[in-house]
């Protein structure tokens, strides 16, 4: 299993869990926020729980909500790596 | 009051016999029945066999993907009906004054299908596999919330939880909001109670018909009434102040002229006579409508002998001799009862009846031993200025709403 989640995979997760179609370019923009994409906090939680279930890790969501997408992915990936 | 008058300017329907007001009216006029054997997965072994099912409904046609993943079928219906009503009234979303538009819905069954799916995840895979949208999708307030979020409507929104009659109470609530100064309210109700979990929740209702023949399962007011069958669907309306509506070029379809709600206790049908009569009197008084000015009655029509008798007596108590002359109809005999959506669908039928000067018939029922002039078989033409819509809930709510054709 890949030990890092790519922007492509994140875009797919957002589409399936939050119902929002986003481009990789938009996601990779350093200032990109989930709310700007139309993904609310419950949508972010859905993405997060999907990652947790898939990689068998536990990620503290309280630090992640409201953060830019790039920071979110960085934190999630370091948890995934640490847990793998 | 202050000169403000609440009128319906848009009608949106998602019903077992048609999606959109035009298809719905066509089916009603023809007395076409949409009752059908329940053929859904997981429902095969339940004692409830017949219902009114909405077929050919493509949720994606009306609801954006981001809302689809968050919501149950009952909210899909409500959002679709709201879209249709807004298109009918030519009312745009994201209005200049977001506080001038509100949303009021009623719901009784909630998001049973969504909830069941998530509970199955819970038991099969564990709590981590329950999606976060479970927290909102099952909730009876979901439709009001999602319609207001999608449209950017920040006026005085609300949810009426008053049993099946809530479908009428939501419209009365909307009319009061309009009287207090809100420009427009999206109001109504839609339900989706024909899924395994939701069906099991209904099995305890003593009036539920377990007949297997769709022709015989629901015959309200008939001497062979065997109870009622459930249905899915509902209707949403745009309710506006008449003057504001006319100024923006919208066409008032019907005035919400009077309403009263009462409560007489669960399944106490005998007592519902007095409660319903009180509700009718209140609605007529508020509308300044004399009993003999009621031109058509859309009955609650439960299909339970004692309840049907109580409704007929309540009408006689208030209307006097006029009860022998006024046409009474129950188009829901061909649809089933969509709980809170049922009276909303009746309001849609009443608005269309007033416009067309035509009372749609009661399908299936062949005779009426209760002394009412029940319209059966064919639609009946007539000069209709007012329509009285009645609803009772299985938990004891009674409600009456009087609609009046607006001046041209």
May I ask the CATH class of domain B6-247?
A: alpha beta
Convert the pLDDT of each residue in B352-375 to its tens digit. 999 999 999 999 999 999 999 999
Distance, CA of B86 to CA of B369 (rounded, Å):
41
CA distance B26 to B37: 23
CA B361, chain centre distance (Å): 17
Q: By CA distance, what is A58's nearest residue in B?
A: B128
Determine the residue of chain B that is closest to A14 in CA distance: B66
Interface predicted TM-score of the whole assembly (ipTM), two decimals: 0.87
CB contact under 8 A, A17 and B135: no
The C-alpha atoms of residue B117 and residue B134 are separated, in whole angstroms, by 9
- State whether residue A56 sits within 8 Å of chain B by CB: no
Rounded to 5 degrees, φ, ψ at B346 are -65, -35
Q: In chain B, what residues touch A54 (CB-CB under 8 Å)?
A: none
In the predicted model, what is the mean pLDDT of residues A50-78? 89
| φ, ψ (nearest 5 deg) of residue B226 | -125, 25
With 80 as the cut, is the pLDDT of residue B132 above it? yes
Nearest Cα of chain A lies from the Cα of B149 at a distance, in angstroms, of 12
Asked if B388 and B340 touch (Cβ cutoff 8 Å), the reply is no
Mean pLDDT of chain B: 96
Contact B84, B24 (CB under 8 A): no
- Nearest residue on chain A to B126, alpha-carbon basis: A53
In percent, the amount of chain B with pLDDT more than 90 equals 98
Domains of chain A, each with CATH number or no CATH: 7-83 (1.10.1200.10)
Q: Which residues contact B173 (CB under 8 A, 6 or more apart)?
A: B104, B158, B160, B187
User: What tens digit of pLDDT does each residue of B55-105 get?
Assistant: 999 999 999 999 999 999 999 999 999 999 999 999 999 999 999 999 999
Nearest-angstrom CA–CA distance, A27 and B176: 46
Least CB-CB distance to A53: which of B65, B128, B132? Answer: B128
CA–chain centroid gap for A15, Å, is 11
B67 contacts in A (CB within 8 Å)? 19
* A55 CB within 8 Å of a chain B CB: no
- Please check whether residue B91 is in contact with residue B12, taking contact to mean a CB–CB distance below 8 angstroms: no
Give residue limits of the domains in chain B: 6-247, 259-403
Q: Which of residues 24-43 of A touch B (CB under 8 A)?
A: 38-39, 42-43
The fold of the B259-403 domain, in CATH, is Peroxisomal Thiolase; Chain A, domain 1 (3.40.47)
Segment (H or E) for B196: helix B196-202
pTM assigned to the model: 0.96
Three-state DSSP state, B251: coil
Of B68, B128, B136, the CB nearest to A19: B68
Length of chain B measured in residues: 408
A19 contact B CB<8A? yes
Going by pLDDT thresholds of 50, 70 and 90, the confidence category of residue A64 is: confident
Confidence of residue B150 (pLDDT cuts 50, 70, 90): very high
């Amino acid at each position: 299993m890949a030990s890092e989640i790519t922007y492509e995979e994140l875009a797919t997760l957002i589409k399936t869990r939050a119902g929002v179609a986003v481009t990789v370019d938009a996601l990779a923009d350093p200032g990109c926020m989930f709310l700007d994409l139309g993904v609310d906090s419950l949508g972010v939680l859905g993405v997060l729980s999907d990652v947790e279930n898939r990689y068998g890790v536990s990620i503290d969501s309280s630090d992640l909500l409201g953060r830019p997408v790039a920071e979110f992915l960085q934190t999630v990936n370091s948890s995934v790596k640490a847990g793998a | 009051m202050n000169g403000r008058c609440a009128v319906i300017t848009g009608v949106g329907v998602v019903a077992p016999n048609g999606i959109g007001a035009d298809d719905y009216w066509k089916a009603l006029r023809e007395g076409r029945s949409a009752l059908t054997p329940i053929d859904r997965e997981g429902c095969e072994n339940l004692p409830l066999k017949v219902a009114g099912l909405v077929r050919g409904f493509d949720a994606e046609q009306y609801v954006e993907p981001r809302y689809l993943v968050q919501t149950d079928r009952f909210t899909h219906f409500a959002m679709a009906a709201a879209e249709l009503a807004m298109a009918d009234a030519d009312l745009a979303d994201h209005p200049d004054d977001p506080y001038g538009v509100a949303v009021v819905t009623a719901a009784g069954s909630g998001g049973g299908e969504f909830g069941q799916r998530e509970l199955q995840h819970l038991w099969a895979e564990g709590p981590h596999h329950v999606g976060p949208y479970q927290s909102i999708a099952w909730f009876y307030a979901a439709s009001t919330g999602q319609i207001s979020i999608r449209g950017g409507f920040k006026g005085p929104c609300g949810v009426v939880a008053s049993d099946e009659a809530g479908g009428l109470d939501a419209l009365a609530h909307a009319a009061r909001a309009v009287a207090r100064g809100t420009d427009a309210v999206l109001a109504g109700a839609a339900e989706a109670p024909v899924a395994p979990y939701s069906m099991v929740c209904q099995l305890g209702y003593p009036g539920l018909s377990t007949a297997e023949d769709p022709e015989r399962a629901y015959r309200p007011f008939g001497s062979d009434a065997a109870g009622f069958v459930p249905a899915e669907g509902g209707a949403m309306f745009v309710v506006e102040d008449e003057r504001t509506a006319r100024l923006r070029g919208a066409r008032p379809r019907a005035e919400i002229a009077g309403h009263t709600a009462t409560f007489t206790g669960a399944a106490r049908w005998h007592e519902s006579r007095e409660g319903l009569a009180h509700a009718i009197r209140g609605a007529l008084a508020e509308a300044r409508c004399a009993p003999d000015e009621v031109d058509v009655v859309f009955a609650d029509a439960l299909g339970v002998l004692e309840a049907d008798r109580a409704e007929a007596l309540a009408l006689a108590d208030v209307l006097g001799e006029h009860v022998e002359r006024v046409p009474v109809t129950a188009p829901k005999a061909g649809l089933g009862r969509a709980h809170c959506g049922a009276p909303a669908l009746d309001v849609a039928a009443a608005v269309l009846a007033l416009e067309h000067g035509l009372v749609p018939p009661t399908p299936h029922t062949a005779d009426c031993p209760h002394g009412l002039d029940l319209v059966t078989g064919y639609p009946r033409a007539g000069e209709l200025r007012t329509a009285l819509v009645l609803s009772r809930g299985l938990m004891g709510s009674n409600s009456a709403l009087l609609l009046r054709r607006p001046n041209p």
